[in-house]
C-alpha cells in the first residue's frame, strides 16, 4: 500500500464566517487594526447570536458590505467571545 504525501496540502478545518459589516467600533490610527460588528449570514461554527464582533487587520472595510472572514473564536478578557480574523 503506497500513500502519497502532499507537502503543500492545506487542512480545511479553519473557522469562517460570511456577513455584513454593520459598524466599525474601533480603527487604529497607526495600523490597519479594526474592531467590527458583523451581521452573520453563514458560518461553520456554533454562534447563538445574529451579530459577532470581528477583530483583525483590514485595509479597507465598507459598512453594509458582505465579507468572508477566516480565523478563530477567542475569549477576550474584557470583551468576551469574539472572532479573531487572520490577515
Tell me how far apart the alpha carbons of residues 43 and 32 are, in angstroms, rounded to a whole number.
24
Residues paired with 20 in a beta bridge: 39, 66
pLDDT in tens, 26-68: 999 999 999 999 999 999 999 999 999 999 999 899 999 999 9
CB atoms inside a 10 Å sphere around CB 40: 16
Looking at residue 2, its pLDDT comes to: 53
- CATH code for residues 15-85: 2.40.50.140
Reply yes or no on whether the pLDDT at 4 is more than 70.
Answer: no
Nearest alpha carbon to residue 81 among 59, 49, 57: 49
State the residue for C-alpha cell 445574529.
Answer: 50
| pLDDT for the residue numbered 14 | 87
Please compute the mean of the pLDDT values over residues 10-23 and round it to a whole number.
84
Q: Confirm whether pTM is higher than 0.85.
A: no
Q: For the chain, give the mean pLDDT.
A: 88
Amino acid at each position: 500500500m503506497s500513500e502519497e504525501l502532499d507537502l503543500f496540502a492545506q487542512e480545511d478545518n479553519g473557522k469562517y464566517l460570511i456577513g455584513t459589516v454593520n459598524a466599525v467600533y474601533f480603527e487604529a490610527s497607526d495600523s490597519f487594526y479594526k474592531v467590527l460588528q458583523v451581521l452573520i449570514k453563514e458560518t461553520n461554527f456554533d454562534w447563538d447570536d445574529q451579530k459577532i464582533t470581528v477583530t483583525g487587520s483590514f485595509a479597507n472595510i465598507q459598512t453594509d458590505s458582505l465579507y468572508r472572514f477566516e480565523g478563530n473564536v477567542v475569549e477576550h478578557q474584557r470583551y468576551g467571545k469574539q472572532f479573531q480574523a487572520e490577515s
